[in-house]
Chains A and B, each alone.
Chain A
């Protein structure tokens, strides 16, 4: 439920939660320090401290209390009646509005009566933990101590140290651990945990082959052997998909987004390089201390190292209010900058330290020992950072252009071969039949195939708009092009796509190629040729009735060869022209299509008035009520637009083809797939979204966090709370220290082995994702308001082991996933466990989990065989990015093809860049840090899983694949589909249910149902 509120009542004693201190009896000093001092600190010092001194009174030290304030001495030792402090408190005048409870009054009374002995002066409100807040003695701030191994009775169960700690707790609660899960459950759990994908299992000759890793899995016994399990773990950790999985978790923690947010929300075109850096860092097991240092100060610590520079994308991946920072009044900008610093300090503290330093902007932290001054010290450390939209240019490139060039050559050759094969298959086996045309298609003509009297509209969409052939315009509709005009007006978008060969370069008029118009002066649009350039006149509410001014398309494009020309109009009013798949011109016309004339006719090759004839050959004309995205246009160019119209699917054609052709086809496909997945690093263009540091001004403490109220100057520095292990909070920096020194010092301080939080927080994150809940169940908050550790010993043992082993994250994975704790079955009846620990905090079984949004989408793609495993590079876009007025926004396109069927981590994660399918599965917007995902179950989510086009497409692909692999026998098909989805054969009852269903509704529908089952969507 996203909340950490759980029933602790029963568990409190069992878990021995590190908790509030008690007022110990001891020396006077100590009783003051532990009793009276915290009381003063909590109740009085926020107004009566050395800085604020309200009423002239400072109660933080003995001298202040004795001297008193404006009304006279506050405390007379031994004399209650003359102690103003006591009189005001006894009369409930102080603290204002919140009189002290009787017990606290009694404590103060006693103290004054006994002589008001002062302890450690002055009172440090942070010294001790109280029942209201954490002090310097708070558990998470203490140095890491390698704990003693506990004694356990059942010595056979533990596989490693983790298990001994878990078992000791279980045994003291009288609970027994669960047995290991069956292999098919355990393998599935391991796959999702380590690489975020399910095992893709297939039965081949009585053996199980797993496709993703290309390995055989022996399931002859229900339990995997120890060595087989170990090998599997290593293979998964070695898989490039491992980094993709775990990078996503880190990107969640730090609110990585690829647009700036707020009003303008500009897309950050090069933010993906940081995302790739994170994936690579996980894959090559970059030691975590280095991982931390490079993200904070890679540019400073390793000057000239591109890789280290890319790591600083961390600093600039949050939100940025362009209007507030650049466009508002000067006063406003100062305020907004303070808001940005709060966001930066918040991300820093929570991601690496699990501390909400940001909560101390306006006052000392309410719960943790962090002063307001320390907040500004931290802000000063990051004072050179802004998340502005500038991209760093001219970064030195790595020389890898040749390798990439070779690769491109080979890939293009394969593409051409595949293209030729597809064409020949279509020629040989194709017949006209139904199918799905490209979304938005309204009319489609193939003038080359016309019979001389009529040119049929072959779109298969709506009422055909056939053209009469042979008249003054060579082709013209007899009626107004109503279906086209209505659709375009409704969508407020349009695309005109043609393949043509112009006869000559000196045509004028412009000569009309495709026109929707009345005569030479009135039109909705006309694509024409003027000299050797194409020309587009386009009517919107912002252009005149002749569609002028026209779009200027560069000269030299209209030449005598077969050319692909596409013009689009999008809802934001942008008109674009593409020639041979590449954009050559664009302009914002503005306006919309609401004033299009409903009575205009469509003509090809001449104006309807017959006086603007175009000379050339038209091969293909398609018009869409949609602005086709650039990727689609490029694809149409590559495939010569063969897939535009309704036609038989390639699978249908292949079914009729010879075995030889089929294998030739499969071979080419797999070669291309392999090539795509092994693309060498693209030539670096020298641009990245990384830190561009500025020398910051001198920072002050700001009263109430307001830039208008500066108090004392601060130096960049760390937290007093983390000094117990000998780590200094003083970085030796002056208030005006150079920017580079600030971040370098911060980087070293964060990754210092004496800093207890950095390793604790990280190993807890790993635990959280493997076990389903952190040892501390608030992974980004190790303070007083966060959760308490259920197994503090494991946390420290792992943290110590982590550092001594060189901060290697993969080693932590190994330890956790090879533990018996991890391998327990989740589905087990244990009455005592249920009664004593229903929330399973003691880990007497594994926790089942619903798949997160990314895993759901990736799993559907992988299982259906549609997953494009290409790693890295620019983000795929399943949205169109539009410019509306002055802000960018995105519209989901619902596309389904190789370019977008990549792993979800490669999606363009624009802020507010919604993908409703992923949203319904709790994928958070990247505006706030999300250290843990919700796992909600809602009817909107079920509607999405049932009805969203994506799931349907995956079901279709899975069915196609299943038929291909299992042949025509329904039972074999069901068996194969069940293996694909669940990694197990169907049970008899399932087989019986499915057989009737498939016979009646088809295999696609069964696949669709499988994707909706609980078994598919949960990891046990």
Chain B
């Protein structure tokens, strides 16, 4: 390498904490020996992007497609009957399969686009014309944890990098003072029932791409943001000054300074993070009408409203991916009663997210951010069209169902007010244009300017990808 190049290279390695070194673009340039300047983080990695940010709202536990986004009028006819074998074998994950059950909620066509949506999400119905429904999702497992891992990392096993980590690795961040992948757990707690931190791990990617879970229960937004002992700011500042002086003296005597200088820099960034994170998370700075738009004034959805508003503030400030969790990670797992109000019911869970998510979509739209943001509302699998068996009674619960479910995409580069793919007459199997998790990931990466087959990282013998060896971009949903 020539002197000039290595100088540039050094500068870039010094910016390791920027999330620039260790991202795919730099890795590739370093490998080619062609690195001349810091790559443009917004140019997309492989082609011009349609969006720059992702907000992923994950409904863990299994959202019933039949009761939300997949209109199956034939189920009225089949209600309380055994499922005809022509549709497939009624297998159950837990216990035995019961008889078919019509949707628990009334469906209507919504908006100008006329998308069929149930009354489960009244506020989302109001923004139907923004939504892109994928009605033909299929999953590979009926087991929550492997399913949730796959929905987030592409793999059923634990320890693979999450999509947000891949995006961080592929594209870096637009704001050096904030993590590029932020996770906002439900105020009810870390989603431990869904495998917790495995869902935002950077796996074998460098640790800077790890999702950083923010504390959404009140108190400092991240761990160790301020000294545990509550030091006064003078001491803090002078401590940093002394550290800077000692490190500078040490650096002076050294020839190979890349990582030494990077550490010095990372303290400066850390100091800026101390201010930037609380500022970004301060939703009280929002005017009242915006707070109301998200439902911050309503008890039943205040927690999610805060997280949705925080998500907007974070991406506005350059965070690449924000992931929102609902409940403990499996709170949509309505085996007993879809229509109940409490934990593991749909009616109760929907109230917590409906207005905040709709408010988020409206707010992004009015700020022009929806053009550059993909909002994903996804689940790991659907629920059976037949009820959970209950000693002969027709129960109000439904079991896990990987053969068919619906995921919703909104925003940057997508066809709005559009439904893609279809299930059979009873919603048992995705029969028209089935879409896998790999396809969904490939599509989102494509919207962000990434070819999913070319965003790779070597680990234990394989150039690993988010999409393993599968996945096709669903061109039909792209505007």
Contacts and interface: CB of A to CB of B under 8 A. Distances in A.
B185 interface: no
Given A827-B253, A1014-B250, A263 B270 contact: no
A1008 B239 contact: yes
Nearest to B218: A490
Contact of B195 (A262, A331, A778): A262
Contact of A323 (B6, B27, B143, B239): B143
A1 B239 contact: no
Given A263-B193, A938-B208, 18 more contacts: A319-B157, A356-B461, A356-B462, A359-B461, A781-B460, A781-B461, A911-B158, A912-B192, A925-B158, A927-B158, A937-B259, A940-B212, A942-B270, A943-B224, A948-B228, A1005-B235, A1014-B250, A1018-B260
Contacts of B33: 7, 9
A31 to B, nearest CB: 31
**Contact count band on A:** 35 or more
Given A925-B201, A1015-B250, A952 B229 contact: yes
Interface string B255-289: 11001101110110110111000000000000000
A732 B309 CA distance: 66
Interface in A793-807: none
Given A328-B143, A1013-B247, A934 B192 contact: no
Contacts of B249: 987, 989-990
Contacts of B143: 263, 321, 323-324, 328, 332, 336
A944 B207 CA distance: 14
A331 B402 CA distance: 14
Contacts of B238: 997, 1000-1001
Contacts of A350: 460-461
B458 A937 contact: no
A827 B210 CA distance: 32
Contact of B266 (A9, A335, A939): A939
B369 interface: no
A263 B6 contact: no
A25 interface: no
A626 B247 CA distance: 40
B22 interface: yes
B195 to A, nearest CB: 7
Contacts of A885: 193, 328
A741 interface: no
A887 B250 contact: no
B92 A914 contact: no
A14 to B, nearest CB: 15
A997 B159 contact: no
A1013 B243 contact: yes
Given A786-B461, A937-B262, A946 B267 contact: yes
B458 A5 contact: yes
A24 interface: no
Contact of B145 (A323, A780, A920): A323
18 contacts: A2-B204, A3-B457, A4-B458, A5-B458, A10-B1, A319-B157, A332-B142, A350-B461, A780-B461, A919-B210, A928-B204, A934-B206, A936-B208, A937-B17, A942-B266, A990-B249, A1013-B247, A1013-B250
A943 B461 contact: no
B30 interface: yes
A1009 interface: yes
Interface in A731-788: 778, 780-781, 783, 785-786
A454 B1 CA distance: 79
B367 interface: no
Nearest to A885: B193
Interface stretch (A632-640, A815-823, A828-836): A828-836
Nearest to A914: B197
B110 to A, nearest CB: 35
A129 B5 CA distance: 35
B207 A934 contact: yes
A827 B204 contact: no
Contacts of B266: 937-939, 941-942
Contacts of B30: 5-7
Contacts of A912: 192, 195-198
Interface of A: 1-7, 9-10, 261-263, 319, 321, 323-324, 328-329, 331-332, 335-336, 339, 343, 346, 350, 355-356, 359, 367, 778, 780-781, 783, 785-786, 826-829, 834-835, 838, 848, 850, 884-887, 889, 894, 911-912, 914, 916-917, 919-920, 922, 925, 927-929, 931, 934-944, 946-949, 952, 987, 989-990, 993-994, 997, 1000-1001, 1005-1006, 1008-1010, 1012-1015, 1017-1018
Interface in B378-430: none
Interface in B13-33: 16-17, 21-22, 27, 30-31, 33
Interface string B167-179: 0000000000001
Nearest to B26: A1
B196 to A, nearest CB: 5
Interface of B: 1-2, 6, 16-17, 21-22, 27, 30-31, 33, 91-93, 141-146, 156-160, 179, 190, 192-193, 195-198, 201, 203-208, 210, 212, 222-229, 235, 238-240, 242-243, 245-247, 249-251, 253-256, 259-260, 262-264, 266-267, 269-270, 272-274, 328, 457-463
A960 B34 CA distance: 53
A927 B198 contact: yes
A261 B146 CA distance: 11
Nearest to A335: B141
A687 B198 CA distance: 30
A887 B192 contact: yes
Which of A1, A885, A911, A1018 has the most C-beta atoms of chain B within 10 angstroms of its own C-beta?
A: A1
Given A2-B204, A927-B159, A1001 B239 contact: yes
A829 B256 CA distance: 8
Nearest to B251: A1014
A1013 B146 contact: no
Contacts of B160: 928
A343 B155 CA distance: 13
A148 B443 CA distance: 56
B9 to A, nearest CB: 8
Nearest to B198: A912
B255 A889 contact: no
Contacts of A335: 141
Nearest to A916: B223
Contacts of B239: 946, 1001, 1005, 1008-1009
Contacts of B92: 329
Q: Which 6 A-B pairs have the closest CB atoms?
A: A356-B461, A949-B228, A927-B159, A928-B159, A942-B270, A939-B269
A440 B223 CA distance: 18
A572 B151 CA distance: 27
Given A947-B226, A1009-B239, A1 B22 contact: yes
B144 A263 contact: yes
A1014 B274 contact: no
A920 B238 CA distance: 24
Which of B142, B160, B223 counts the most A-chain CB atoms under 10 A from its CB? Answer: B223
Contacts of A783: 461
Nearest to A825: B255
Contact of A946 (B31, B192, B270, B457): B270
B93 A5 contact: no
B207 A936 contact: yes
B207 A947 contact: no
Contacts of A786: 461
Contacts of A1: 21-22, 27, 206
A990 B246 CA distance: 7
A912 B223 CA distance: 17
Contacts of B204: 2, 928
Contacts of A10: 1
A1 B205 CA distance: 8
B471 to A, nearest CB: 16
A838 B274 CA distance: 36
Contacts of A828: 255
A499 B206 CA distance: 51
